[in-house]
Amino acid sequence: MERSTIVRVHEGLHARPATRFVKLAKSFESEVEIVKGGKTVSAKSSVKLMLLAVKENDEVTVRADGADAIEAVEALIGYLENPHAGLEESGAQSEAAPPQPEAVRPAEPAPDAATEGEGLRGVAASEGVHLGPVFAHFPAQIVPSAQSLLPDQIETEIERLRAAIAAVQARMDAALADEGLAGGDRGIVAALRDIAADETLVGDIEASIREGFDAVSAVVAAAAKTAAEFGNVEDTYLNARADDVEAVGRQICLALLGQDEVDLASIQEGAVLVAEDIGAWDLARAPLKRIGAVVCGKGGATSHVAIIARSHGIPAVLGVGDQVMALKDAREIAVDGHAGRIFADPDQRIRAEFEQRMSAAEKERAALAGFQSFTPKRADGTVIEVAANLGSLEEIEAAKAAGAMGVGLFRTELLFMRHMHLPSEDMQAETYAALAKAFAPYRVIVRTLDIGGDKPVTAIDFPEEENPFLGWRGIRMCLDRPHIFKPQLKALLRAAIHGNVKVMLPMVSDIEEVRRTKALVDECAAELDLDGVAYARFDLGVMIETPAAVLVAPALAKEVAFFSIGTNDLTQYVMAADRLNPTVAALNDVANPAVMTAIEMTARAGVEAGIMVGMCGEAAGRPDLIPRFVEMGLTELSMSPASIPRAKKVIANLKARRVETDPGDAL
Ligand code: PEP
Ligand code: MG
């Protein structure tokens, strides 16, 4: 039995309409399928249905086979033609939810002699002081088993999987039954619940278990595969569903492992986030405005967690080591991001000192606010652009509020790290264009993908490397993987029609890398021409962050439009001191004469060739070094937004000539 019709569902079969359609299909015993453009999927799978991307006015066929096939086809066609008739509003979740376990919260404080008195020491990763309650974030690691199942273990493993899925669904039902759940959140939870119950996803997982994989491995693989399918659809809404699939996969894995998720979204106002390690993406999407300070067992001053913390003016002490375990049971923590010190459950004397320093910092912030709208200039009238380093569009508002004169470094890694799949060319083009529009007429410098080292990406298969920082990262990986690099270059060419987009390459150590990239840009432009897609050429620059690039800077300067000195990596490579290793943190010092000489050599090569020389490493925001960088000839300093007002003040004090902001000056 089958019938065709034109879809009249206004939003298409996305989200809620897809949920309703699947619920209706499941109410019939018959096998039910929906066909669009020659592609057939089960009408009982919301994942497959969403992937079919059915839009309003599309022609589809509904096909059913079974005892109630006629009723099924009639009801489903009826819904597609008149979606507002016949279905109740309440959504799909009506079963009673079983009682839920208590959320995991830190235990009662246990005084620990090691954390009293002098306090603990770590790496001073983001300045500022803060005193606040502890929010312990120690999420479970999901480690798939390396062993295959024996044939007699398979049925038990499938039972375990079904129980885990049921537990996740029950938890989501309980959330949906809560009347306090906001409308937007309700839609998200309902969509997640549908995914957890999806028959094709569950079918894929069970098939892997029957091949001998343990349930956790099977869930991880099936979620990655489905997420990749969502990622490949030319539809930004559906691209974002990939995150939902990943989130559900993680929930099922945690249930299989008998663990609860600690949700960063519930962090209380002014809390100190204490973690052994935290992913840059997890921190970036946390409610940063509520986080008072960050303390981590791992990480160094130029790790990406430190960079995000500095961007948002959140004090951070990282690289505390195993001692972080003792902190998770404290009630309150005082964090000194200048000195890299932490006091668990501080006594009255320390509390008073911190309270006094917090109020002084507040006064300084107010005083610096006056510098936000000034354009700093050198004695000869040259504008020194004080720009922002950003990692996502969510940070634009804070950067503009801080007085950013454009973006000197847009790290594109988060775009790639936030999904298990590669971001599409369209999605990237939209992101870069949104960035360009937000800062026009100031320029935005987008850095091409810089992964490897401390920034792995799930969708890219990285080899195990003995020394990842000396390995296959940045431009090296991109040139070896044109299927990853070309969509990014094309997206940048498309965004360049806004006129203020520039592009720079990370980890350059050989001039050939620049020449090969230029050839690839030409190839991308020719392909866009053939496809009739609008684009514009962009200025290409390089980051100077390897000693090799410093030594060939005069030759590089003839090939590119600008230099941007990446002091985070340059320091670790010049000093041979790992930027993530707290034990060599003292050597990892940009002010060391060896690193300052490398910066000076770069500046001289750029100035002599007449190209712009800027800096986007964290040193660009250091008040003690800014005067020397300006003297060397740097005309752009790009930094964490929170450092911008003070940097402008330092430059303004160099030559007390301030003028009102005129964005046109800076282009
Ligand atoms: C640098 O190395 O200085 C830099 C800005 O890049 P990242 O910190 O992202 O490696
Ligand atoms: Mg770098």
User: What CATH number does the domain containing 41 carry?
Assistant: 3.30.1340.10
Q: Say whether pLDDT at 654 is over 70.
A: yes
Least confident of 57-71, 145-159, 249-263: 249-263
Judge if 411 and 303 occupy the same domain. Answer: no
Using only the alpha carbons of the chain, give its radius of gyration. Answer: 27
Q: Say whether pLDDT at 664 is over 60.
A: no
By most ligand atoms within 8 Å of CB, the mutation choice from 448, 449, 450, 595 for ligand 1 is 450
* Ligand 1: residue whose CA is nearest its atom 9: 411
411 Cβ inside 6 Å of ligand 1: yes
The single residue listed with the structure tokens 């264009």 is 433
Please tell me the predicted confidence (pLDDT) of residue 55: 85
Helix (H, G, I), strand (E, B) or coil at 240: helix
The Å distance, Cα 451 to ligand 2 centre, comes to: 10
Judge if 390 and 439 occupy the same domain. Answer: yes
Mean per-residue pLDDT, 67-73: 94
* Ligand 1: residue whose CA is nearest its atom 3: 566
249 Cβ inside 6 Å of ligand 1: no
- Angle at the Cα of 637 from the Cα atoms of 606 and 277, rounded to 5 degrees: 115
The Å distance, Cα 455 to ligand 1 centre, comes to: 11
453 Cβ inside 6 Å of ligand 1: no
Mean per-residue pLDDT, 188-194: 73
Domain carrying residue 207: 151-257
Please tell me the predicted confidence (pLDDT) of residue 575: 97
Please tell me the predicted confidence (pLDDT) of residue 456: 60
454 Cβ inside 6 Å of ligand 1: no
Query: Is 361 contained in some domain?
Result: yes
302 Cβ inside 6 Å of ligand 1: yes
Q: How confident is the model at residue 377 (pLDDT cuts 50, 70, 90)?
A: very high
Query: Is 177 contained in some domain?
Result: yes
Mean per-residue pLDDT, 456-477: 83
Q: Domains in the chain: how many in total?
A: 4
CB 212 within 8 A of CB 148: yes
Judge if 252 and 267 occupy the same domain. Answer: no
Please tell me the predicted confidence (pLDDT) of residue 184: 45
For 399-454, the pLDDT digits (tens) are 999 999 999 999 998 888 766 578 899 999 999 999 999 999 999 999 999 987 55
CATH number at residue 558: 3.20.20.60
Please tell me the predicted confidence (pLDDT) of residue 655: 66
* Ligand 1: residue whose CA is nearest its atom 6: 566
409 Cβ inside 6 Å of ligand 1: yes
Least confident of 114-123, 203-212, 495-504, 553-562: 114-123
Q: Could you say which of 215, 230, 257 is where a domain stops?
A: 257
Query: Is 90 contained in some domain?
Result: no
Judge if 353 and 420 occupy the same domain. Answer: no
Q: Going by C-beta distance under 8 Å and a sequence separation of 6 or more, which residues neighbour residue 337?
A: 124, 125, 126, 127, 128, 129, 130, 293, 315, 316, 317
CATH number at residue 200: 1.10.274.10
Judge if 132 and 155 occupy the same domain. Answer: no
566 Cβ inside 6 Å of ligand 1: yes
By most ligand atoms within 8 Å of CB, the mutation choice from 126, 304, 307, 411 for ligand 1 is 411
Query: Is 88 contained in some domain?
Result: no
Query: Is 509 contained in some domain?
Result: yes
Please tell me the predicted confidence (pLDDT) of residue 91: 36
Please tell me the predicted confidence (pLDDT) of residue 419: 63
CATH number at residue 359: 3.50.30.10
Q: Say whether pLDDT at 96 is over 70.
A: no
Which has more pLDDT, 415 or 528?
Answer: 528
448 Cβ inside 6 Å of ligand 1: no
Distances (CA, A) of 201 to 191, 218, 229: 14, 10, 12
Please report, as a single letter, which amino acid is at residue 118.
E
Helix (H), strand (E) at residue 353: helix 348-368
Query: Is 86 contained in some domain?
Result: no
569 Cβ inside 6 Å of ligand 1: yes
* Ligand 1: residue whose CA is nearest its atom 7: 568
* Ligand 1: residue whose CA is nearest its atom 1: 566
Mean per-residue pLDDT, 109-135: 72
Question: Which range has highest mean pLDDT (164-168, 256-260, 625-629)?
Answer: 625-629
Mean per-residue pLDDT, 172-194: 67
Which string of b and e fits 284-311 if b means at least 16 CB within 10 Å?
Answer: bbbebebbbbbbbbbbbbbbbbbbbbbb
Q: Say whether pLDDT at 234 is over 80.
A: no
Question: Is the whole model's pTM more than 0.75, yes or no?
Answer: no
Average of per-residue pLDDT values in the chain:
86
Judge if 522 and 648 occupy the same domain. Answer: yes
Judge if 115 and 201 occupy the same domain. Answer: no
Which atom of ligand 1 lies closest to the CA of 302? 8
Least confident of 118-127, 327-336, 406-415: 118-127
10 is a catalytic site residue: no
CB 645 within 8 A of CB 376: no
Least confident of 101-110, 127-136, 275-284: 101-110
The Å distance, Cα 463 to ligand 2 centre, comes to: 20
Which atom of ligand 1 lies closest to the CA of 545? 2
616 is a catalytic site residue: yes
614 Cβ inside 6 Å of ligand 1: no
Which has more pLDDT, 453 or 336?
Answer: 336
By most ligand atoms within 8 Å of CB, the mutation choice from 302, 305, 564 for ligand 1 is 302
Q: Could you say which of 232, 257, 282 is where a domain stops?
A: 257
Mean per-residue pLDDT, 378-398: 91
Judge if 359 and 438 occupy the same domain. Answer: no
Please tell me the predicted confidence (pLDDT) of residue 367: 86
Judge if 571 and 592 occupy the same domain. Answer: yes
Which atom of ligand 1 lies closest to the CA of 409? 5
Which string of b and e fits 381-412 if b means at least 16 CB within 10 Å?
Answer: eebbbbbbbbbbbebbebbeebbbbbbbbbbb
Q: Could you say which of 225, 257, 289 is where a domain stops?
A: 257
Mean per-residue pLDDT, 358-374: 88
Query: Is 376 contained in some domain?
Result: no
Judge if 655 and 510 occupy the same domain. Answer: yes
Q: Say whether pLDDT at 503 is over 70.
A: yes
Determine which one of 304, 312, 419, 498 is catalytic. Answer: 304
The Å distance, Cα 569 to ligand 1 centre, comes to: 6
Q: Say whether pLDDT at 191 is over 60.
A: yes
Judge if 616 and 637 occupy the same domain. Answer: yes
Mean per-residue pLDDT, 53-82: 92
CB 451 within 8 A of CB 460: yes
Please tell me the predicted confidence (pLDDT) of residue 639: 95
The Å distance, Cα 571 to ligand 1 centre, comes to: 10
Query: Is 161 contained in some domain?
Result: yes
Q: Say whether pLDDT at 42 is over 60.
A: yes
The residues placing their C-beta within 5 Å of ligand 2, an ion, are: 545, 566, 569
For 272-326, the pLDDT digits (tens) are 999 988 866 567 667 888 999 999 998 877 677 887 888 788 999 999 999 999 8
545 Cβ inside 6 Å of ligand 1: yes
Judge if 564 and 509 occupy the same domain. Answer: yes
Ligand nearest to the CA of 621: 1
Q: Going by C-beta distance under 8 Å and a sequence separation of 6 or more, which residues neighbour residue 78?
A: 85, 86
